[in-house]
Amino acid sequence: MEWNESDGVRWLAATLGPAGGGTGRVGFGSRVGGVSEAPYDTLNIGVLTDDADAAVVENRARLAAAVGIDPRKVPIGLQVHKADLAVHDGPQEPSPYAEPGPALEEVDGHVVRGPGLAPLVLTADCLPVALAGPGGVAMLHCGWRGLAAGIVARGALAVEATAAAIGPGIGPCCYEVGPEVLDSFADLGEGIAAGRLLDLPEVARRLLARAGIERVESAGLCTCCEPDLFFSHRRDRGVTGRMGNLAWIDRTG
């Protein structure tokens, strides 16, 4: 992965490889390059905060422009920490990304089969995970509940995934959890936690391996530890913005 910047917007770019007749691409967003004021400064993509709607709409347009995507072709959903996926054959109309307001389907993952659409998930400590394979690309919102519910396996099956990228999320340095969370991943073996500090990226890596995906790239960045780069729900005690994370199929290769 490498940092890219366009008109002040910063994001981590990754190439997933062959996907749905093209090349899978990923843009993991940061908080840098928007117009929102504190505590949502500056590139807040989440409208379900107390940020000004006009600022969020402008931020969404800036992020889409930075990665070269039409904002009306960015499918999104209402994330509820489960494992349901939406398969998109065309743009959502009207576009809830470009024009917030329409009711959203409750999904934590999105699948597209070919070029033209760039599904997005919002994060502020949860992991954004992108998958690619002959069946297309998937963009997943992976908190511990979604991971425990099987969202990685569902996404991998949906696109016949051969490659994946794990974006920035809360790291094992900061993610203290209760025994019910640790018990949810006990079958993954040793090394996923140190005491009550859960290594969520390692959980994702092991679930990806279990799904047969050998090529996995990880950002290795903790959202809670990097206040200049990322929003963090835990660090900011719930009063924070959301990063936008997109995956798409580039037909140019």
Tell me the pLDDT of the chain averaged across its residues. 97
Q: Which two tokens stand for residue 176?
A: 């203290």
Measured CA to CA in angstroms, residue 56 lies from 35, 44, 45, 112, 179 at distances of: 8, 6, 6, 25, 37
Confidence of residue 103 (pLDDT cuts 50, 70, 90): confident
Confidence of residue 251 (pLDDT cuts 50, 70, 90): confident
The structural domain count of the chain equals 1
Q: Which two tokens stand for residue 29?
A: 């967003």
Answering whether pTM is above 0.95, one says: yes
* Greatest extent of the chain over all pairs of C-alpha atoms, in Å: 47
Is the pLDDT score of 253 beyond 70? no
141 Cβ partners below 8 Å, 6+ apart? Answer: 79, 81, 108, 109, 121, 122, 123, 126, 128, 151
Q: Which pLDDT belongs to residue 204?
A: 98
Taking only the tens place, the pLDDT of each residue in 43-70 is 999 999 999 999 999 999 999 999 999 9
CATH of the domain at 225: 3.60.140.10
Q: Residues 2-25: what's their mean pLDDT?
A: 97
Confidence of residue 102 (pLDDT cuts 50, 70, 90): confident
Taking only the tens place, the pLDDT of each residue in 131-185 is 999 999 999 999 999 999 999 999 999 999 999 999 999 999 999 999 999 999 9
* Domain of residue 171, residue span: 2-250
- The whole-angstrom separation of Cα 234 and Cα 86 is 28
